[in-house]
Every structure is written in structure tokens, then in C-alpha cells.
Amino acid sequence: MTTQKTGKPLAVLVGAGPGDPGLITAAALNWLAQADTVLYDRLANPSFLAGCRSDAELIYVGKGPGAHAMTQEQINELLVKKTAEGKLVVRLKGGDPLIFGRGGEEADALVNAALPFRIVPGLTAAIAAGACAGIPLTDRRLASTVTFITGHEDPTKDESVINYDALAGLDTLVFYMGVGNLPAIAARLISSGRPADTPVALVQNATLPNQRTVVATLATAASAAEANNIRPPALLIVGKVVTLREKLAWTEKLPLFGRTVLVTRTREQASKLTDQLVASGANVIECPTIEIQPPADLAGLDKALAEIKSFDWLVLTSPNGASGVLARMKHLGLDGRDLGSARIAAVGPATADVLNENFLHPDLMPETFTTRALGKALAAQVSKGERILLARADIATNELPDILRGAGAEVAEAVAYRTICPARLPDDALRALSAGKVDWVTFTSSSTAENFLALVKGAGVDLSALKLASIGPVTTETLVGAGLTPTVEAKKHTIPGLVRAILEAVGSSQ
């Protein structure tokens, strides 16, 4: 059967790095964004696939201990087949493609099929594990050489292809995939002359929030791994440099290291909060409890925007409201010039950021970033009879328009967006909640709180064991109304303020 080519064939063997989404290269992300087909490994962070085209073909070809989706020969054949179809194929591999990644074999298969390929290097796990565990793999005081070795040999073999006699005299040794063969590796090194009291470190899930490091000696490495339930993916670091960890370990000192935080923002808005929590060492599970959609009927918003010059104020109470209004203006062929003399009031800096990105700047923003404070600040400025366009969510309360009408303003309301509750919680969030493995849950609006409580109802989740973080008083009122007391409320009602409140609470408890 002849396969018809659809374009110029090209295979790209791409290193995905050690797992941390921040450690993949810009070149790797660029190729992923263009790919027709992606063949991805178990150790490549699944979040990288979010950058692929919506029509890209994603095929899992991972190999784990005792569980192979495909043999290496089958992967080679599939890589050749997809490339020969005229596709741009990205072979996404954990770490670096050519460091125990079988990338050489895959490139060889492409050469034999006369197909073009490229190789994009990635940060290999050994370097990342050493850095994140506080263990320099080389140090002029202790080690001038470092050697990478596969630990994935068959332990039943009479002889090893690895020259343990040579390794015994080298400085730093890093064994990949060696946990299963750890007793044999340690015994062979000791029998080859490596002192039994040589310091070693086992680093599991390097660079990820659930990274764990266990320090032992060569003689006790196997028992330490068993006692601490060290499982793949993990690396074994052998050598005097391990002693530097006592002073240089930094990952475990991050304020939220070892803590799991549930983020309930919309999927589109979660990244800003997630990034700040991850930077503080947290294991973050994104659990969107609201979805943002355009209004069911756009006529009201369109009519108001067509008459925007007749208003004295445009009031925006959230980033979503600002985005909804600006998106609709663009659709209608309007821009900032069409606002005329209308001034803009924004509830806080996140809303102002959306305006600034579109070359607009708020004329009024309250010192306290709440709808109530916005209403009071605006009421102090409006004159009787001034016209105000209030563009916000479909489920917003009457508090703000009541304050403004009480000040004598004429208020027109338009729905800029709808908030929808998802059908269910994401599986990973529900599993973590049910297992009691969530430490904090963050709420950035009343809607996130209301929907979260509705979604966990009947799921057997013990809410009393959770620490709850509220972005401000309105969200706190919602939680209190449901019989819950937030552990913290942000003093400054912003995402950085919410993170700061959690960090202060954690710091005071240590």
C-alpha cells in the first residue's frame, strides 16, 4: 500500500527536559506548536501538549517499568510511517533525546528510510536532579569528573557491560533508571573498590513539586530506598559531592514545598496564580470551578456599545468583564476612540491590566479592590443625571447599581459575560481531595467558592481538613454563609495578595 504524502516530511527528535514545565526549551515549544503528529513519552510533562495545534495527532508511546505502550521497534516504525506520510512529526522525549533516550536508534531508523530529521537537545535529568537537590555534580574541591551510567541492566546477567572497576575510581557517578537494580549496583561498586561509606543521594521526581531526596551511603542505599518508598523516576548520585547538599539544598526550603494547593480559577486565568504558587514550591492542581462564556444574547451589550459616547462612565468590575467588552468592541469594529468622553472605572489592577493591554487606562480605581469600594468611590464623583454603563457578569448582585443610583446616576446594565459551573471536578482534583492530599484551596471570587462547594457536595470530601484562602471580603462572606471559615483573607485583594496571605500563614505556623 502506498502512502500519499501531504507535505514535506520532517521528523524532529525533541528533548522535553526533566519535567518542570519551565525547563523545556523555546525551540522545543516552537516545534510542538507546528507539529502535525506528536509521539510523546511517559516522562514528558503532559502540560507541554497544550501548546500543540488543536488538530494535531497526539500518540502516547511511553515506556514505564513493566508497562510499555509500544516496543522500541514499534516506535521506530511508527515514527518512520508518520514522517513518510509527509507530516511534521515531533518525537517528544523526556530529558535529552540522546542521553539514555534511544534517540540515536530513532534517528538511525529515519536515516535508513531516507527521511530528514532534526534533533533538539533537552536538559537531561542528571543535571536537573543535582541542581534541584543542592548537589553540584562537579566541584573543584571534591570532583573534577562526572559520569552518567544506565542502571537499567538485567540484574540476572552474569556479567555487566558496564566497567565497574573503572567507575570505582571516578569522582561523581549518576545512575539513570537504577532504582530497581540498586542492590546489584551498590554491590558491584563496593566489590570493585568503591568505599561502602561513600555518600549517595536518591532523587525522585526531580524538578517537580513532589521531588524527594534521600541521602544514604553506598552500603545503605538499597535499604534507604525501600524504607522511603523511592520509586521511578529516580536517579542515584554517588560521590563526595553529595555532602554539599547539607549546605546547598534549596528546594525543600521553599515556603510551600511539600504542600498541595487547589486553584479554582477558570482554566484561562489559572496560570498567573499557579505560577506564583509553584515559584514558592507548591504542588498545584488546577481545578476550574467556573467557565467564562459570552452572553446568551449579545443584543443588549451591542446596543450599549453602539451608544457608548452617550455615557459618562464605563464601569468594569472584573478582568472578564473588561475582556468581554473589548472583544465585543473589536467584533463591532470599535476601538478606544469610540469611547468619546466616557471615562472608565475599574475595580482593581487585574482589570486595569486588561485595559492597559489594549491601550486604555482607567480613570478611577478604588484603594480597596472590591465592588462595594468601587461603588462608593464612583458615587463620590458622579453628578446627578450622569449616565453610567455597567458591564459585568450575568449573575452579579444589585449592590453596585443601587449605590450608583442612590448617588443620582442613571445606570444602564449590560451582560458582558456568563459564568457557568462545570459538570464535575477534574479527576485529579477529586482524587486528591478524597485522599486528603490537598492542603489549601484558593478562591478568587464568590462564584469559584459557590461552584466548588456545589461540585464537592456528596463526594465524600472532608472540608474541615482543608485550609481555605479567600481573595477578599465578598468571597469570605460566601464561604461563611456556607458554614466555612477561611483560614486567610488577602489584605490586598489581588492574586499576589492572596499568595502573600498563604505564605504569611504558613510562615507563622513553622
Residue 305 per-residue DSSP state: H
Residue whose C-alpha cell is 546477567: 157
Q: Which H helix or E strand runs over 217?
A: strand 212-217
β pairing state of 37-40 and 57-60: parallel
CB 190 within 8 Å of CB 196: yes
Q: Which helix (H) or strand (E) holds 392?
A: strand 387-393
Cα–Cα dist 323/330, whole Å:
11
Question: Which one from 63, 81, 240, 272 is the annotated catalytic residue?
Answer: 63
Q: How far apart are CA 122 and CA 23, in angstroms?
A: 9
Q: Which residue has the cell 494547593?
A: 261
**Residue in 5, 36, 41, 492 annotated catalytic:** 41
Is 41 catalytic? The answer is: yes
List alpha helices for 231-384, DSSP H: 245-248, 270-279, 299-306, 319-331, 349-357, 371-379
Q: Residue 304 — φ and ψ, nearest 5°?
A: -65, -40
Q: What angle do CA 288, 295, 371 make, to 5 degrees?
A: 70
Question: For this structure, is 87 an active site residue?
Answer: no
Closest by alpha carbon to 41, among 61, 67, 21?
A: 61
3-state secondary structure of 415: strand
Neighbours of 67 (CB within 10 A): 8
Parallel, antiparallel, or unpaired for β 467-470 and 488-489?
A: parallel
Active site residues: 41, 63
